[in-house]
């Protein structure tokens, strides 16, 4: 271990952020870098805890104490090698992961946890600067061809793994550029898009072929997939949950992705044909308390909204860990994101009953009501009732529905392949098998597990790649996270 007494000597410190007033003027990332000394001190906080639960807290099984020690000792190349032995894209997770590893950090029991996510980001950025990260094309050629449909983190992880072992990999993407929600969901102020471009360049140099503006099942016939030895579906979970209340049809009520995607396209100078949706000078209502909702808050503030209000149907979870924690807990609802720091009125236990329009069909307000939740003996919220007399109207000219995603798009590719779906409408595959009901067709990421996290998409992509490799070759030397534990 780096420094046995580090966890006693140093407090958790996160890098400074750009002041709210200035960062709201741009869509750029605004978290500064640690100084060398700060980074060294933060790595030194990782203690010799015997059983490092951070390993299993991380869906990728990242071997965190080892890379912290290497950072503390200034062994950058070693830190980089340890990090990428389990994670293909630390530059993504180091920026936007909710860091379940930090929730699992043993130091976090009575002190603040080690700043693992920031350390991860610094390792990979230093690795790019020092050119440890470079294309390593393999001379091995298996002669097997794999098609990956979808270029989000799951599809990218599949491709990055399979190209290493000598398969020919083609990634189909219906958008104009690769990246999935990394590019056209998550705003630039959380993840600037040069970070994706930089990674795609490395993958292309290793031989991955990207075919953009190519929607399989629409402008690319599904029959084209027959030419491949294996196919991986990584199309994400894209059908948003709707709010079917009176006034839903009014002008001014949109799904969150209708708003976020076009803003990312504006920033990235990518053309779009949809009607412009602006929050400028409007009272904005964001319905839904997760990551998508908070991205709508940050984007609305950058547009120059008059006010931003965010509603969540569920109750605010208790911050007191000694109280019965509701399960499933809703960690996102506890979290104050950087977007909330920028200005937002936040309410829990509230339901929107109707949208109200003016004579021209434009949204002017929403009718809402407070909820009272009944809890079971474990403190879990199980049933709600409206609080009588709490119904009221709040002004809003733009309402953004950020209430999650139901399942992947069924028409087109999935129907044409005839893959079996599970009871939630996701593509069915046994966990750990990743193989669908269709011959030689595999699935990974949100399309299989439902809406989730980038770190899970990468984890699924890696595990799925190993299964594809075994299917094609009869064995695989690709790493599996099972080997870490």
List 96, 202, 209, 356, residue binding ligand FAD (CB under 6 A): 96
Task: Please tell me whether residue 299 binds ligand FAD under the rule CB under 6 A.
Answer: no
List 40, 68, 87, 151, residue binding ligand FAD (CB under 6 A): 151
List 52, 153, 289, 315, residue binding ligand FAD (CB under 6 A): 153
E-assigned strand segments in 330-377: 345-347, 350-357, 363-375
130 Cα distance to chain centroid: 27
> What CA–CA distances, in Å, run from 212 to 173, 369, 382, 416, 459?
5, 45, 45, 20, 24
Task: Please tell me whether residue 454 binds ligand FAD under the rule CB under 6 A.
Answer: yes
List 144, 174, 177, 462, residue binding ligand FAD (CB under 6 A): 174
Closest approach of ligand FAD to the CB of residue 412, in Å: 6
Task: Please tell me whether residue 161 binds ligand FAD under the rule CB under 6 A.
Answer: no
How many CA atoms are closer than 13 Å to the CA of 207, on its beta-carbon side?
Answer: 17
SS3 166: coil
Q: Count of CB atoms within 10 A of residue 317's CB? A: 18
For 482, the token pair is 């099972």
x/- letters, 354..393, toward ligand FAD (CB under 6 A): ----------------------------------------
Task: Please tell me whether residue 413 binds ligand FAD under the rule CB under 6 A.
Answer: yes
Task: Please tell me whether residue 215 binds ligand FAD under the rule CB under 6 A.
Answer: yes
Nearer to ligand FAD, 120 or 295 (CB): 295
Task: Please tell me whether residue 158 binds ligand FAD under the rule CB under 6 A.
Answer: no
Task: Please tell me whether residue 101 binds ligand FAD under the rule CB under 6 A.
Answer: no
Closest approach of ligand FAD to the CB of residue 66, in Å: 23
Site for ligand FAD in 429-448 (CB under 6 A): 445-447
For 132, the token pair is 């440890």
Residues whose CB is less than 8 angstroms from the CB of residue 219 and which lie 6 or more positions away in sequence, other chains included? 213
Residues whose CB is less than 8 angstroms from the CB of residue 37 and which lie 6 or more positions away in sequence, other chains included? none
SS3 303: helix
84 Cα distance to chain centroid: 19
List 69, 291, 312, 397, residue binding ligand FAD (CB under 6 A): 291
Q: Which range binds ligand FAD by CB under 6 A, 26-34, 57-65, 111-119, 168-176? A: 168-176
List 27, 67, 172, 228, residue binding ligand FAD (CB under 6 A): 172
Task: Please tell me whether residue 197 binds ligand FAD under the rule CB under 6 A.
Answer: no
How many CA atoms are closer than 13 Å to the CA of 112, on its beta-carbon side?
Answer: 9
List 43, 105, 181, 297, residue binding ligand FAD (CB under 6 A): 181
For 331, the token pair is 């960690």
The residue count for binding ligand FAD (CB under 6 A) is 39
Pairing state between β 345-347 and 307-311 = parallel
Burial of 485 (0-12, 13-18, 19+ CB in 10 A): exposed
Task: Please tell me whether residue 295 binds ligand FAD under the rule CB under 6 A.
Answer: yes
Nearer to ligand FAD, 94 or 357 (CB): 94
Nearest in space to 240 (alpha carbons), one of 399, 449, 406, 398: 406
Nearer to ligand FAD, 69 or 102 (CB): 102
Task: Please tell me whether residue 154 binds ligand FAD under the rule CB under 6 A.
Answer: yes
Nearer to ligand FAD, 41 or 446 (CB): 446
Nearer to ligand FAD, 354 or 421 (CB): 421
Task: Please tell me whether residue 453 binds ligand FAD under the rule CB under 6 A.
Answer: yes
Does residue 190 contact residue 17 with C-beta atoms inside 8 Å?
A: no
Q: Which residues pair with 351 in a beta bridge?
A: 369
Give the DSSP H/E element, type plus range, for residue 181: helix 181-184
Nearer to ligand FAD, 196 or 457 (CB): 457
CA atoms of 262 and 275, how far apart (whole Å): 9
Closest approach of ligand FAD to the CB of residue 35, in Å: 26
Task: Please tell me whether residue 236 binds ligand FAD under the rule CB under 6 A.
Answer: yes
Does residue 365 contact residue 283 with C-beta atoms inside 8 Å?
A: no
Nearest in space to 434 (alpha carbons), one of 446, 426, 444: 444
Task: Please tell me whether residue 217 binds ligand FAD under the rule CB under 6 A.
Answer: yes
Task: Please tell me whether residue 189 binds ligand FAD under the rule CB under 6 A.
Answer: no
E-assigned strand segments in 87-205: 145-149, 168-172
Closest approach of ligand FAD to the CB of residue 3, in Å: 31
Closest approach of ligand FAD to the CB of residue 294, in Å: 8
What is the contact surface with ligand FAD in residues (CB under 6 A)?
96-97, 149-155, 172-175, 180-181, 185-186, 190, 214-217, 234-236, 260, 291-292, 295, 412-413, 445-447, 452-455, 457
């Amino acid at each position: 271990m780096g420094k046995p007494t580090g966890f006693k000597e140093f407090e958790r410190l996160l890098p400074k952020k750009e002041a709210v007033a200035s960062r709201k003027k741009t869509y750029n990332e605004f978290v500064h870098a640690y100084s060398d000394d700060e980074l060294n001190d933060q790595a030194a906080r990782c203690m010799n805890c015997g059983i490092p639960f951070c390993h299993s807290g991380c869906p990728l099984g990242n071997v965190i104490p080892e890379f912290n020690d290497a950072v503390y000792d200034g062994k950058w190349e070693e830190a980089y090698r340890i990090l990428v032995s389990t994670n293909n894209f630390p530059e993504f997770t180091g920026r936007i992961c909710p860091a379940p590893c930090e929730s699992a950090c043993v130091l976090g029991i009575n002190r603040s946890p080690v700043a693992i996510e920031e350390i991860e980001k610094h390792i990979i950025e230093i690795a790019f600067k020092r050119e440890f990260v470079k294309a390593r094309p393999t001379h091995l050629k298996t002669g097997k061809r794999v098609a990956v449909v979808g270029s989000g983190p799951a599809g990218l992880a599949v491709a990055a793994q399979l190209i290493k072992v000598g398969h020919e990999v083609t990634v189909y993407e219906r958008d104009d550029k690769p990246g999935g929600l990394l590019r056209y969901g998550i705003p630039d102020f959380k993840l600037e898009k040069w970070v994706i471009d930089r990674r795609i360049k490395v993958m292309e140099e290793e031989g991955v072929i990207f075919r953009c503006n190519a929607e399989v099942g629409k402008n690319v016939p599904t029959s084209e997939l027959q030419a491949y030895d294996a196919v991986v579906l990584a199309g994400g979970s894209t059908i948003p949950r709707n709010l079917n209340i009176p006034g839903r049809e009014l002008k001014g009520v949109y799904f969150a992705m209708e708003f976020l995607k076009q803003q990312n396209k504006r920033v990235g100078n990518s053309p779009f044909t949809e009607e412009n949706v602006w929050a400028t000078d409007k009272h904005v209502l964001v319905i839904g308390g997760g990551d998508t909702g908070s991205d709508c808050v940050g984007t609305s503030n950058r547009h120059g909204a008059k006010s931003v209000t965010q509603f969540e149907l569920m109750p605010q979870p208790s911050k007191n860990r000694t109280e019965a924690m509701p399960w499933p807990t809703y960690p996102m609802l506890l979290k104050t994101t950087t977007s909330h720091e920028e200005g937002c009125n936040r309410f829990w236990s509230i339901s929107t009953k109707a949208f109200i329009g003016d004579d021209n069909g434009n949204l002017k307000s929403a009718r809402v009501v407070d909820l009272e939740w009944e809890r079971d003996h474990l403190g879990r919220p199980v049933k709600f009732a409206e609080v009588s007399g709490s119904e009221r109207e709040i002004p809003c000219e733009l309402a953004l529905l950020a209430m999650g995603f139901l399942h992947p798009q069924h028409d087109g590719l999935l129907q044409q392949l005839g893959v079996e779906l599970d009871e939630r409408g996701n593509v069915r595959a046994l966990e750990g098998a990743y193989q669908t009901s269709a011959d030689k067709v595999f699935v990974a990421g949100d399309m299989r597990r439902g809406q989730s996290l980038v770190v899970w998409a990468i984890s699924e992509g890696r595990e799925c790649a190993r299964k594809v490799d075994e299917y094609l070759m009869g064995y695989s030397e690709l790493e599996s996270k099972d080997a870490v534990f």
